[in-house]
Each structure stands twice: as C-alpha cells, then as structure tokens.
A and B are shown apart, each in its own frame.
Chain A
C-alpha cells in the first residue's frame, strides 16, 4: 500500500518546455489535489478534482492544466514552463466528507 505516489521526484526544465507531473493513489479516494509550495511559504492549491471526470480551479491555476484520468490518477501539465513555476509540487488525495488529506512526497521542479 504505497499511498500517494508522485513522479518524477526532481525535474529541471528550460523556459518554454512542457512537462506532465504524475500522481497516483491506491486508497480508492474520490478527491485529489495539486498544491505548490514556494521556498519558505505555505501550500497553495492549484487544482482539485472532487471525483473522476471533474476538476476545479484552486487559488493559483494560471499556467497549469490537469487531467483526472481515472479514479487513481491525477496529472498536472505545464504547457510552457516559466521560472515563476519553480516550486515543489505536492499531490494529495482524500475521501469526501471530513477525511484528512494524504500527501505524496513532492516533485521538485526548477525552471531555468
């Protein structure tokens, strides 16, 4: 039982390149989330998905797209990376109602 798995763990991109961050959970959770954390800051919600087939914007969605491929997987895509997107990206999942979020260990992205 791995919980929430994020790939890759580290990535360096040049400005303008694109990439997809992958997230998968094996807890049969309905909801999945993408957060970013800039150095010395708290987490900011990018997008979330309440269930398979639905996605909603969070606090900072600009520059990102997401896909809820199935119940297990929720991917985050950067179409044209910018240095301002240098951050640590965390994926999380939870059941609905009052269940707590379970987080992955993050993807550390640097855009040069």
Chain B
C-alpha cells in the first residue's frame, strides 16, 4: 500500500478556503485517494475520494496532480465546525484494506 505524508497541523481563518496537502509519491495506477476527517474523538467521517480527475461534492473539492503524486483537499469556506484531524489515504481499487496515517490537525479560528 502506498504511503501518504501530510503536515501535522494547519490553521485557517473562518470563511477562507482551507487547502490541505497530501503527498503520495509511490501511488500505483489502481490506487484511489480518499479523505476522511475526525472531529474530537468521534468516528472518522468520509469526505471525498478520487482516482485522477478532480472531484467535488457538497463538502469539499479534491485536486489530484497530473502525475498523481500529490493531492489537495479544499474546504472552500471553512467554518469553526471544520476544526478536525484530516486523513489522506490511498486505497487499492476493490480491496478491503484501508490504512490511516497520522493526519493533519486543522484549526479554524474566528
């Protein structure tokens, strides 16, 4: 399974876009990039995933570089409720193993 590298922490002002980077330089052609977040000590919450095209849903956008070696999760208008730990994970297509790293702690401030 490919490894991911994320900064341990980031800050963002409320109302601004939060851009969370992830490096996955050893990603294989059949591995998807997934993003989850964990608020306080709750169970992680799925945000978005993609293979090579950019993806957008009601929560966030995912930008994957053309060489697929890195990606960025964008929260377009961060709110205080977006304060959480964000995990970037790569997952081999159609397998059942999902390995989490240590994530990025995002602090949104007023």
Contact = CB atoms under 8 A, between A and B. Distances in A.
A48 B94 contact: no
B44 A101 contact: yes
B98 A101 contact: yes
A48 B103 contact: no
Interface in A56-112: 56, 58-59, 88, 90, 92, 94, 96-98, 100-106, 108
A44 B94 contact: no
A94 B43 CA distance: 14
A25 interface: no
A42 B6 CA distance: 12
B49 A106 contact: no
Contacts of A105: 42-43
Interface residues of A, number: 30
A12 interface: no
B83 to A, nearest CB: 16
Contacts of B44: 43, 90, 92, 101, 103
A45 interface: yes
A58 B43 CA distance: 19
B97 A58 contact: yes
Given A103-B44, A106-B42, A106-B43, A42 B87 contact: yes
B98 A98 contact: no
Contacts of A45: 97-100
B46 A90 contact: no
Contact of B93 (A41, A59, A90, A97): A97
Interface of B: 32, 34, 36, 41-46, 49, 87, 91, 93-94, 96-103
16 contacts: A33-B98, A35-B100, A42-B87, A42-B101, A42-B103, A44-B100, A45-B100, A49-B96, A58-B97, A59-B99, A90-B44, A96-B96, A100-B36, A100-B46, A103-B44, A106-B43
Given A33-B96, A103-B45, 4 more contacts: A42-B100, A59-B99, A98-B32, A98-B91
